[in-house]
Amino acid sequence: MPKTYPPSAKTAARAHITAENYGPMYEQSINDPDTFWGEHGKRVDWIKPYTKVKNTSFEPGKVDIKWFEDGTLNVSANCVDRHVETRGDQTAIIWEPDDPNTTESLHITYAELQVHVCKMANILQELGVGKGDRVVLYLPMIPEAAYAMLACARIGAIHSIVFAGFSADALGARINGSDAKVVVTADHAPRGGRSTPLKSNCDAALLHCKDSVKCLVVKRTGEQTTWTDRDYSYNDMRLEADDYQKPEEMNAEDPLFILYTSGSTGQPKGVVHSTGGYLVYASMTHQYTFDYHDGDIFWCTADVGWVTGHSYIVYGPLANGATTIMFEGVPTYPDAGRFWEVCAKHKVNQFYTAPTAIRALMGAGNEWVEKHDLSDLRLLGSVGEPINPEAWNWYNEVVGKGNCPIVDTFWQTETGGHMITPLPGATTLKPGAAQTPFFGVKPVVLDPQSGVEIHGNDVEGVLCISDSWPGQMRTVYGDHERFEKTYFGDYAGYYFSGDGCKRDEDGDYWVTGRVDDVINVSGHRMGTAEVESALVAHVAVAEAAVVGYPHDIKGQGIYAYVTLMNGQVPTPELRKELETWVRAEIGPIAKPDLIQWAPGLPKTRSGKIMRRILRKIAEDDFGSLGDTSTLADPSVVDDLIENRMNRN
Ligand code: 6R9
């Protein structure tokens, strides 16, 4: 029996949620969601209070999700204005730059935040942005990213953030996909001592977009950039912009943002989140999962380009009047002690990061942690992929000194906030398990083949959710049918997560990873189909199949099997060229780790690529290939095995 960790008396004594109140609250959230959420929905300020709470259906063909549907509110008023009245001088955002030796960190109070957000809102309006319009944000991790998010929310515009590590092509596709009016970017994005030319990427992207799209440019480094007729300087415009802007009254169900994410088929889809339900859920999970109390300093190391940054750098913490850290850099720059230096410098109380970072820092050695005073840390969090027990133990012992509960939070871009997670004052922790459902979440384990619910404990299957929760995505932008098909098409009446899971003998959930063609590289979601379509877009490539394989640091690496066009010669130079090509098509995170030249791919007689076999070979586990008798040409497998790239 692996060791488990009950909440310490100290943790339990101060916790919002304890072993005593979790059970009854959870029961009510499931059995009487109207009463439960009717009460908890009041944690945010409404302009017009709701009278209806839950109105949701997972029924095939009629999937429809509405929460608090007749209420009105404004997210920016909730994240900013209401705190200005009570804690205007408190720091809202601590900004920590990429390079601590050349740049000072910043402390932005709630009163200052209001001015920044209002100015940005006025600038966006001047550029023609109104309620319901889309604005793409392609920014470094700078305070202006938060100002722009909140400014959109203030005027009722819908933001769509594109991670600054994505390429010009990916950016262009997302600008067009949401028909955005304005793109907000910066001259350059410093990260890990290197600099990405965001503005010139943006110029390249906009070549493929409507002429009417405007570009608002924030000065970050001051390095030279080209300037065109569509460009506007944020730094100039803010000198003239008014410092107040009245928040727009929004319906609870108006979209707050779009965020593109990868799925198992086709191009990334625009996940749409709502105004009311999302904010209630993001703020409640932030407070309870991290046991956040007034005055605490909270640090989520994610980028705002991912959902984790949306919910737990900006919306959740600011709705709760928290002090939230925005970190521009990477864990290993200037050295492998950076995370711990920042924790010590700002006296961080709750620290939230990804297993890939934990594994990398574990490999760098304990001395980097021990150099810094981490005595203010009270809680540690993990997100993005399953955390292996070795990394969990290191996080617990070396970083947390055995005094900080670890919350292993399972959730998704689609879910808006935590779904399955320990609560620090209530849960006896098990290393490697996300464990218990958050309020309002009803996980079920289904048999993957029959789709029948598997009851009881000590069972395994696919993870579905059987009823709606307020933070759930509402639709795929512009394609409700795709929403239904993707999430409700496989198992009628259930939201399907795409993950496999076990429910152990105590009823705790262990999420075991994707069961579809989504791979998880350093906690970033990648559709194998996206990488494949980038590869086949290269003139030399006839066919490509991409799978994940176990990678010590990244969790999964990208393994590509490439069949070249007739007459093309496989050379190391071509391999390099394909790597660079994928980087340019999608972004650095999509670059294949291994490319194997494949004279042929294993296919069924009907032409389907048998990925199961390719996965096994990539895992260097070809002893158990299973049945290959349905292959059109079984001999291709021998060649693939002989030339495999990953030998353990
Ligand atoms: C928040 C976020 C979602 C996918 C999800 C699952 C994996 C995330 C996890 C986890 C096990 C955890 N995942 N957290 N698996 N334990 N604590 O990561 O969103 O980028 O959409 O990824 O990540 O496979 O389906 P997103």
Number of alpha carbons in the 13 Å side-chain half-sphere of residue 369: 19
Our measurement of the distance from residue 241's CA atom to the centroid of its chain's CA atoms, rounded to an integer in Å, reads 33
Name the least confident of 159-173, 444-458, 516-530, 548-562: 516-530
Question: What average pLDDT does this structure show over 445-474?
Answer: 97
Find, among 159, 396, 429, 425, the residue nearest to 270 by Cα.
159
Ligand 1 pocket, residues with Cβ under 6 angstroms: 261, 306-308, 383-386, 408-413, 434, 497-499, 511, 513-514, 520, 525
Our measurement of the distance from residue 75's CA atom to the centroid of its chain's CA atoms, rounded to an integer in Å, reads 20
What pLDDT does residue 10 have?
96
What pLDDT does residue 628 have?
76
Angle at 270 between CA 141 and CA 475, to 5 degrees: 130
- Give the pLDDT confidence of 155-165 residue by residue, as tens digits: 999 999 999 99
Question: How far does residue 474's CA lie from ligand 1's centre (Å)?
Answer: 19
Tell me which of 511, 512, 515 to substitute to probe ligand 1's pocket, judged by most ligand atoms within 8 Å of the beta carbon.
Answer: 511
What pLDDT does residue 366 have?
97
Q: Is the pLDDT of residue 626 over 80?
A: no
Find, among 520, 610, 609, the residue nearest to 557 by Cα.
520
What pLDDT does residue 220 have?
98
Find, among 323, 325, 320, the residue nearest to 283 by Cα.
320
Q: Is the pLDDT of residue 604 over 80?
A: no
Give yes or no for a contact between 67 and 277, defined as CB atoms under 8 angstroms apart. yes
What pLDDT does residue 16 have?
98
Q: Is the pLDDT of residue 630 over 80?
A: no
pLDDT band at 246 (very low <50, low <70, confident <90, very high): very high
Q: Dihedral angle at the C-alpha atoms of 414, 304, 290, 327, nearest 10 degrees?
A: 160
Q: Is the pLDDT of residue 316 over 90?
A: yes
Q: Is the pLDDT of residue 264 over 80?
A: no
Percent of the chain with pLDDT over 90: 90
**Ligand 1 atom closest to Cα of residue 387:** 16
Question: What average pLDDT does this structure show over 432-451?
Answer: 97
Name the least confident of 197-211, 310-324, 519-533: 519-533
Question: What average pLDDT does this structure show over 589-603?
Answer: 94
What pLDDT does residue 57 have?
98
What pLDDT does residue 266 have?
75
Listed in sequence order, the residues at least 6 apart from 146 whose beta carbon sits closer than 8 Å to its beta carbon are: 93, 113, 304, 313, 314, 318, 326
**What is the DSSP secondary structure assignment for residue 42, as one 8-state letter?**
G
Question: How far does residue 524's CA lie from ligand 1's centre (Å)?
Answer: 9
Q: Is the pLDDT of residue 369 over 90?
A: yes
Find, among 350, 395, 403, 340, the residue nearest to 372 by Cα.
340
What pLDDT does residue 2 have?
83
**Ligand 1 atom closest to Cα of residue 261:** 21
Which segments are annotated as binding site? 191-194, 308, 384-386, 408-413, 499, 514, 522, 525, 536, 538, 541, 583
**Ligand 1 atom closest to Cα of residue 308:** 1
Find, among 464, 421, 458, 417, the residue nearest to 279 by Cα.
417
- Give the pLDDT confidence of 280-314 residue by residue, as tens digits: 999 999 999 999 999 999 999 999 999 999 999 99
Q: Is the pLDDT of residue 517 over 90?
A: no
Cα of first residue to Cα of last residue in the chain, in angstroms, is: 29
pLDDT band at 234 (very low <50, low <70, confident <90, very high): very high
Tell me which of 289, 358, 407, 411 to substitute to probe ligand 1's pocket, judged by most ligand atoms within 8 Å of the beta carbon.
Answer: 411
Tokens of 70: 């007749």
What pLDDT does residue 634 have?
81
Q: Is the pLDDT of residue 87 over 90?
A: yes
Q: For residues 305 and 145, give the distance between their C-alpha atoms in angstroms, rounded to a whole number.
A: 10
Residue with the smallest CA separation from ligand 1 atom 3 is 412
Q: For residues 166 and 260, give the distance between their C-alpha atoms in angstroms, rounded to a whole number.
A: 12
Question: How far does residue 569's CA lie from ligand 1's centre (Å)?
Answer: 39
Question: What is the ipTM metric for this complex?
Answer: 1.00
Distances (CA, A) of 556 to 28, 160, 360: 39, 27, 14
What pLDDT does residue 635 have?
86
What pLDDT does residue 647 have?
86
Q: Does pTM top 0.90 for this prediction? A: yes
- Give the pLDDT confidence of 464-479 residue by residue, as tens digits: 999 999 999 999 999 9
- Domains of the chain with CATH codes: 76-251 (3.40.50.980), 522-643 (3.30.300.30)
**Ligand 1 atom closest to Cα of residue 408:** 17
The amino acid occupying position 512 is T
Number of alpha carbons in the 13 Å side-chain half-sphere of residue 433: 23
Question: What average pLDDT does this structure show over 163-172?
Answer: 94
Average pLDDT, the chain: 95
Q: For residues 89 and 83, give the distance between their C-alpha atoms in angstroms, rounded to a whole number.
A: 9
Q: For residues 459 and 446, give the distance between their C-alpha atoms in angstroms, rounded to a whole number.
A: 10
What pLDDT does residue 608 have?
76
Give yes or no for a contact between 125 and 155, defined as CB atoms under 8 angstroms apart. yes
Q: Is the pLDDT of residue 346 over 80?
A: yes
Residue with the smallest CA separation from ligand 1 atom 18 is 384
Question: What average pLDDT does this structure show over 158-181?
Answer: 96
Question: How far does residue 520's CA lie from ligand 1's centre (Å)?
Answer: 8
Question: What average pLDDT does this structure show over 605-615?
Answer: 83
Q: Is the pLDDT of residue 261 over 80?
A: yes
What pLDDT does residue 632 have?
77
What pLDDT does residue 262 have?
87
DSSP 111-125: HHHHHHHHHHHHHHH
Question: How far does residue 408's CA lie from ligand 1's centre (Å)?
Answer: 10
Q: For residues 265 and 144, give the distance between their C-alpha atoms in angstroms, rounded to a whole number.
A: 34
Question: What average pLDDT does this structure show over 604-618?
Answer: 85
pLDDT band at 263 (very low <50, low <70, confident <90, very high): confident
